[in-house]
Structure 1
Amino acid sequence: MDRVPAAERLLDLVIALSHTRHRMTKAEIRRQVNGYADAASDESFDRMFERDKDQLRALGIPLLTLTDSAHEDDVGYRIDTGEYTLPPVDFTPAEVGVLSLAAQVWQDSSFAAESRRGLTKLRAVSDLSDPGEHAGLALRVRGPDAAFAELLEAITDRIAVRFTYRTARTGTTAQRTVEPWRLVAKDRGWYLIGFDRDRQAQRSFRLSRITSTVQRIGDRATVQIPEQIEVPAVTTTEVVLALAPERASALRTRAEPATHPLAPADRDVVRLRITDVDRFAEQVAGYGDSVLVLEPEELRSAVLERLHAATTWGGR
């Protein structure tokens, strides 16, 4: 017969000592708890049980030692369920939102199933049964942009590149020829810093605005990378949003209260600054009708474009 794993034996011991009406003696534990029958002798059982007791106490489980009032040498054990039981679970919408975000971190790992089950149980014991409470609360940990690998390789090889780029201010696209110097992460985005041959000046390019593949131009080892490169400040855009009560917790953490004449009376108005309208539009669209864009018009149009695309997805 296969031996019972130590972890399984400990779990069975916790269950037994938590549900005993008064206490369990060592003899009862050896006879009734799964795993202790593996002990070959009384001495072996004593060593096994002492190790398990130490392990439970090290885990913070309140294991009590009780003696019979008439026979002091009759020792028994139980777990103090009053100290061991967790208090009632009561989360606010904001706290459930944070837990939702945390659970999303594990979606691409071996813990995906466990995180989903845990979050489902937390929502089941809370008052937040409406799935709309959590609309848009998905932590998107983006990998590098599509152009990242090609640009990094070009910097290593010290070779110029050419790509199509969409400007942030006007939204127009144009071809750029650049001597790449450095890739930097700043304000939730990756930027290429290099020498723009067309404009004969240093420029920075947000990788998410590169709309084509990166083409290598010329020969390797021809780009001279300066020893000192000034990282320019990132241009930001102020946006004003109207949020449904107790919704969009992830946005609220980045924003500050504001007012707006066009805001519905039942909405919370907030203001924040962003660095990429298109990417932020993806996030806002994920909240559905929980978030209304009041300003700027560029962001409103980008969100509506995505929502319209979603309604027609699949030919419907």
Structure 2
Amino acid sequence: MAQRVEAAERLLDLVIALTHTPRWMTKQQIRSQVNGYADAASAEAFERMFERDKDLLRELGVPLVLVRDPAHDDDLGYRVDTEGYTLPPVSFTPAEVGVLSLAAEVWQDAALHASARRAMTKLRAVGPAPDPGAHTGLALRVRGPEPAFGPLLAAIDARQAVTFTYRAASTGQVTTRTVEPWRILSRDRGWYLLGRDTDRQAPRAFRLSRIQGRVRPTGPAGAFTVPADVDVTALLPARSPAGLARLAVLPDRAAALRARAVPDGAAPGRAVVGPDRRGADETPAPAGEGPLTDRDLLTVPFSDLEIAAEEIATYADGVLVLDPPELRAAVVRRLRAVTALDDGDA
């Protein structure tokens, strides 16, 4: 028994056949020559299958045209309009290829790493080599997406509802949520799922870092339509900082934190120019820490306490958190977890 051909493979074979046919292909030729249509049990089943495939190809933007023989009106066939389907040549300068290569590095630790790598491989095969000196010393990084990123992306593509356990930011309450996922966006170093909460019958935003456990698909694929007029600004949290971190930083350390520092009591966005050790002698060190006279005192706004703690913990003893206490506790908790791992490996 012949193996059944998947719909996606059948569509691809149909596009290839109709793109490369020298004239056109009749329905009879398509049924007999294109892989997958022989699965149809009858002529009526083939007609239904072919009509669905035609509609889908046109929805995808494939210019499928019906051709009629001027000498024989009943001689009909199909082909792809190659002039309307073929993209114009795409060219990049070496500097532009370098910028794209740099941007692709953002996804090296993320779920889209393989796609970014394949895209750059194809680009380098047909385009100029990047200028090696144009971006020397630069490296882009983003906080890698949470484990829920991949399953949610697949559910968005399939238009399939999902169920997951979620911890609310305001109350800390953990509940099970069922959501029709629309899209994933990044805001303030965090990933958010936008979708319709089916229990609350309203659109909601969910921070991926607060999703606990597995994301499970629920119900059939293609069960909903993503609205075109989603007000993203209204769903996502405001960009105002959640708080201000008072930090004691060793000289020449934590350049990223220094770049976001603001004067004490000032609005975020005004950078501190140069090191500022004024008042360091008057600032008490946290219990168990040495004097702060050799450190720069910085005030850095943050939008999410847990994400700020993750960043600050990477600097180890190069950055001490003076305030707020809950941020300091979150950083200490992470450093102790790392120490416990090191002790376990000893």
The TM-score, its normalising length taken from structure 1, stands at 0.51
What letter corresponds to residue 241 of structure 1 in structure 2? R
Flag the structure with larger Rg. 1
Q: Secondary structure of 2:154's match?
A: helix
Alignment partners' CA distance in 2, 1:271 and 1:166: 29
**Structure-1 residue corresponding to 2:237:** 234
CA deviation profile, 1:24-80 (whole Å, cap 9, x unmatched): xxxxxxxxxxxxxxxxxxxxxxxxxxxxxxxxxxxxxxxxxxxxxxxxxxxxxxxxx
What are the ranges of 5 or more consecutive residues in structure 2 without an aligned counterpart?
1-104, 110-116, 118-135, 266-278, 286-291
**Residues 291 and 167 of structure 1: is their aligned pair in 2 closer, same or farther, counting only changes over 3 Å?**
farther
Alignment partners' CA distance in 1, 2:173 and 2:300: 25
CA contact (8 A) 2:142 2:189 kept: no
Query: Where in structure 2 are the equivalents of 1:185-264 lying within 5 Å?
Result: 185-231=186-232, 232-235=235-238, 236-242=241-247, 243-258=249-264, 264=285
Alignment partners' CA distance in 2, 1:263 and 1:204: 41
Q: Secondary structure of 1:213's match?
A: strand
**Structure-2 residue corresponding to 1:310:** 338
**Structure-1 residue corresponding to 2:180:** 179
Alignment partners' CA distance in 2, 1:249 and 1:172: 37
Question: CA offset at residue 187 of structure 1?
Answer: 2.2
Alignment partners' CA distance in 2, 1:303 and 1:254: 19
The higher relative CO (CA closer than 8 Å, separation ≥ 6) is in 1
What are the ranges of 5 or more consecutive residues in structure 1 without an aligned counterpart?
1-103, 110-117, 120-137
CA deviation profile, 1:242-266 (whole Å, cap 9, x unmatched): 2233321111111213279856553
Question: CA offset at residue 308 of structure 1?
Answer: 1.1
The TM-score, its normalising length taken from structure 2, stands at 0.47
Question: CA offset at residue 180 of structure 1?
Answer: 0.9
**Structure-2 residue corresponding to 1:282:** 310
Query: Where in structure 2 are the equivalents of 1:1-316 lying within 5 Å?
Result: 140-231=141-232, 232-235=235-238, 236-242=241-247, 243-258=249-264, 264=285, 266=293, 267-314=295-342, 315=344
Question: CA offset at residue 190 of structure 1?
Answer: 1.9
What letter corresponds to residue 177 of structure 1 in structure 2? T
**Residues 280 and 240 of structure 1: is their aligned pair in 2 closer, same or farther, counting only changes over 3 Å?**
closer
Q: For this pair of structures, how many residues does the alignment match?
A: 189
CA contact (8 A) 2:197 2:203 kept: yes
**Residues 164 and 222 of structure 1: is their aligned pair in 2 closer, same or farther, counting only changes over 3 Å?**
same
CA deviation profile, 1:6-34 (whole Å, cap 9, x unmatched): xxxxxxxxxxxxxxxxxxxxxxxxxxxxx
CA contact (8 A) 1:293 1:299 kept: yes
| CA RMSD after TM alignment | 3.4
CA deviation profile, 1:276-300 (whole Å, cap 9, x unmatched): 3223212111112222223333322
Q: Secondary structure of 2:169's match?
A: coil
Identical pairs, percent: 47
Question: CA offset at residue 221 of structure 1?
Answer: 1.8
What letter corresponds to residue 336 of structure 2 in structure 1? H
What letter corresponds to residue 253 of structure 2 in structure 1? R
CA contact (8 A) 1:177 1:197 kept: yes
Q: Secondary structure of 1:146's match?
A: coil
